[in-house]
Amino acid sequence: MLPGLLGMHGPPPALAAEAPAVDSVQPARIEARSTDLLAVGTVRGGRMTIHVSRILDNAPVRNAVVTVVLRGTAHPATAEADGSYSLETPDLSLPGAAAVQFKIVQGAASEELNGTMRIADAAGPAGDKNGARQLGWWVLNFAVCIGILWLWRRRKAQKS
């Protein structure tokens, strides 16, 4: 009965629903600022989405030329319809820390913003021992042990 209760092929449906999917991993994030501008980049796979805004009023910076220097190579970013900028390069999929420089040119104004990006290894989330799935299994194990002890004491009390 115990194998049927625990399921032979993984956790019960209630625990499986709580377990985070591998694709739900938080994207790598980089923030770089100067006295006037703030650039925030998020990386998923080989694609970076960049939001550039003014620090004074948080207004997005549109119609600018954005170039990202990553691992020593300059990559031009493409302006998107929503005011953000995007960049696709295989360099974004490489794990580890990397210095990133955003070069933003709008009209006669030009600024350089520097930051550091850390991309987690692809096997990182699988090794997470503090995840919801691990916690769920610990709770289930303790509940089964308590249930067995309760049944054992109840049976022992009936014999006396």
Q: Per-residue pLDDT tens for 28-64? A: 889 999 989 999 999 988 899 999 999 999 899 988 9
**Mean pLDDT of all residues in 97-106:** 91
Percent of residues, the chain, with pLDDT higher than 90: 36
- Between 62 and 22, the higher pLDDT residue: 62
Measure the CA–CA gap between 81 and 61, rounded to whole angstroms: 12
Mark residue 47 as left, alpha or beta (left: phi above 0; alpha: psi -120 to 50; beta: remaining). beta
The residues that bridge with 79 in the sheet, in sequence order, are 85
* Domain range summary for the chain, segments of one domain joined by +: 2-21+126-159, 26-119
Mark residue 154 as left, alpha or beta (left: phi above 0; alpha: psi -120 to 50; beta: remaining). alpha
Nearest to 60 by CA among 88, 39, 87, 42: 39
- When the candidates are 1.20.1250, 3.60.9, 2.60.40, 3.30.1120, the CATH number that belongs to 26-119 is 2.60.40
CB of 104 closer than 8 Å to CB of 65: yes
DSSP class of residue 27 equals P
Q: What is the pLDDT of residue 78?
A: 92
pLDDT at 156 over 90: no
* pTM of model > 0.85: no
